């Protein structure tokens, strides 16, 4: 049994820890909560994310396969660890992205409430704040998303078609995230690190996600809003609806990220240079169905991803004792 002095020391240490948490700025707590939520949700669906990228970009090898057959083929080619190829870059991107996204959303939301009272306090505020925060976060982290896509695009192909494609249109064999940055920068400088319709797809999706999630929660009685099941359901609906509307833009972004000059010069394939030109080009050369390639897989992964993300963020806010939004105005 401890002495009174030991008990007193433990109480003092607990008070110091409590004070340190209380002294932490609210925006820092929001960033921590967002980063943890992002890393947790992204790692949970990493295998499905890898297959989705392959369905979107490697149309000759995976385009005719379904989700389960693609997973099986990927395991045969790259092994179990192949499911997480590029996940390091993905987590490195999602932690700062989610941290900035959630924190910026809270800050933009407070600013709108304080400076634009005519907009009210409804879902429209969440739509605007979510879109602005998505743009802010993606501009800071997009190069990591580019690296993740290029690493996930690589497959240790064994079939003759794949080897022929590699000989005719070689893609650089990247050794890691830093190697991707070095190669891409040598091709086109800083601008090349932002290849793809960076904001076109992110802004509407980010805004719709918050709009639907917060809008659904508003219609639920106050006593039930802390329910984990409710948060998971609202998050799943938000991700499902938001991704469906913006998915073709994501396909254009992925194909812009993995295209190279050799494909354009040797095969005469039209080079995607912009969002709308990319949509038209993909429809004409690959068919309109390619604009939705991997969408069924996206339905499978987006439900747990967004649901887990929102639920983890709300849980972290509670653990970090972040004040309710109504009491947290700038």
| Same structural domain, 96 and 183 | yes
Residue 329 lies in a domain: no
Please check whether residue 54 is in contact with residue 74, taking contact to mean a CB–CB distance below 8 angstroms.
yes
Question: Are 253 and 281 found together in one domain?
Answer: yes
- Tokens of residue 264, six digits: 């354009």
Q: What is the pLDDT of residue 9?
A: 54
Please report whether residue 298 resides in a domain: yes
Residues 203 and 138 in one domain: no
pLDDT of residue 115: 92
Instruction: Tell me, yes or no, whether 1 lies in a domain.
Output: no
**97 and 188 in a common domain:** yes
pTM listed for this prediction: 0.71
pLDDT confidence of residue 258: 74
Is there a single domain that holds both residue 187 and residue 206? no
**Residue 20 belongs to a domain:** no
Q: What is the pLDDT along the chain (330 residues), one digit of tens a residue?
A: 455 555 555 545 545 555 667 788 999 999 999 999 999 898 888 888 888 777 767 656 776 677 778 888 888 888 888 888 878 877 887 899 899 999 999 999 999 999 988 888 888 899 999 999 998 988 888 888 788 777 877 766 555 444 544 454 455 678 788 888 888 888 888 888 876 655 666 777 888 889 999 888 888 887 777 888 888 889 988 988 888 888 888 888 778 777 764 455 444 567 777 778 888 888 888 888 888 887 877 787 777 889 999 999 999 998 998 887 754 444
pLDDT of residue 60: 66
- Boundary-marking domain end, from 151, 177, 195: 195
Give the count of domains, the chain: 3
Structure tokens at 102: 């959630």
**96 and 190 both lie in a single domain:** yes
As a whole number of angstroms, the distance between CA 75 and CA 69 comes to 10
Over the range 40-69, which residues count as b (16 or more CB within 10 Å of their CB) and which as e?
bbbebbbbbbbbbbbbbbbeebbbebebee
Q: Flag whether 134 is in a domain.
A: yes
Domain shared by 103 and 170, yes or no: yes
101 with 125, same domain: the answer is yes
Where does a domain end: 157, 180, 195?
195
Q: What's the per-residue H, E or C state across 252-284?
A: HHHHHHHCCHHHHHHHCCCCCCCHHHHHHHHHH
Closest CA to 236 of 292, 305, 173: 305
Domain span at residue 172?
Answer: 92-195
Helices 228-258 and 275-286 cross at an angle (nearest 10°) of 80
Tell me if 19 is assigned to some domain: no
Query: Is residue 3, in this structure, part of any structural domain at all?
Result: no
What pLDDT, on a 0 to 100 scale, did the predictor assign at position 172? 67
Q: Do 208 and 158 share a structural domain? A: no
Same domain assignment for residues 108 and 67: no
| 308 within a domain of the structure (yes/no) | yes
Domain finish residue from 148, 170, 195: 195
Q: Do 185 and 201 lie in a common domain? A: no
Q: Are residues 47 and 80 in the same domain?
A: yes
Q: Are 179 and 273 in contact (CB under 8 A)?
A: no
């Amino acid at each position: 049994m401890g002495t009174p002095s030991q008990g007193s020391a433990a109480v003092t240490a607990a008070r110091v820890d409590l004070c340190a948490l209380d002294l932490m700025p609210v925006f820092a707590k929001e960033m921590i909560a967002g980063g943890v939520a992002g890393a947790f949700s992204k790692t949970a669906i990493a295998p499905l994310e890898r297959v989705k990228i392959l369905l979107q970009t490697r149309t000759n090898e995976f385009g005719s396969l379904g989700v389960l057959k693609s997973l099986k083929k990927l395991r045969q080619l790259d092994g179990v660890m192949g499911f997480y190829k590029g996940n390091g870059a993905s987590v490195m991107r999602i932690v700062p992205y989610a941290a900035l996204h959630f924190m910026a959303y809270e800050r933009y939301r407070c600013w709108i409430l304080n400076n634009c009272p005519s907009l009210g306090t409804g879902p429209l505020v969440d739509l605007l704040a979510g879109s602005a925060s998505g743009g802010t976060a993606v501009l800071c982290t997009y190069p990591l998303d580019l690296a993740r896509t290029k690493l996930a695009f690589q497959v240790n192909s064994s079939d003759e078609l794949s080897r022929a494609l590699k000989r005719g249109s070689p893609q650089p064999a990247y050794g890691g995230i830093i190697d991707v940055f070095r190669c891409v920068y040598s091709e086109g400088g800083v601008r090349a690190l932002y290849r793809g319709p960076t904001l076109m797809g992110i802004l509407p999706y980010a805004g719709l996600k918050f709009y639907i999630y917060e809008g659904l929660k508003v219609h639920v009685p106050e006593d039930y809003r802390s329910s984990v099941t409710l948060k998971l359901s609202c998050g799943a609906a938000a991700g499902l609806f938001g991704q469906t509307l913006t998915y073709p833009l994501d396909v254009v972004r992925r194909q812009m990220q993995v295209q190279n000059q050799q494909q354009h010069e040797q095969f005469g394939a039209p080079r995607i240079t912009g969002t709308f030109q990319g949509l038209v080009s993909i429809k004409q050369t690959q068919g309109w169905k390619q604009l939705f390639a991997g969408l069924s897989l996206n339905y499978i992964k987006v439900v747990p991803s967004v649901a887990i993300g929102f639920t983890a963020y709300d849980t972290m806010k509670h653990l970090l004792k972040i004040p309710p939004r109504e009491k947290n105005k700038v």
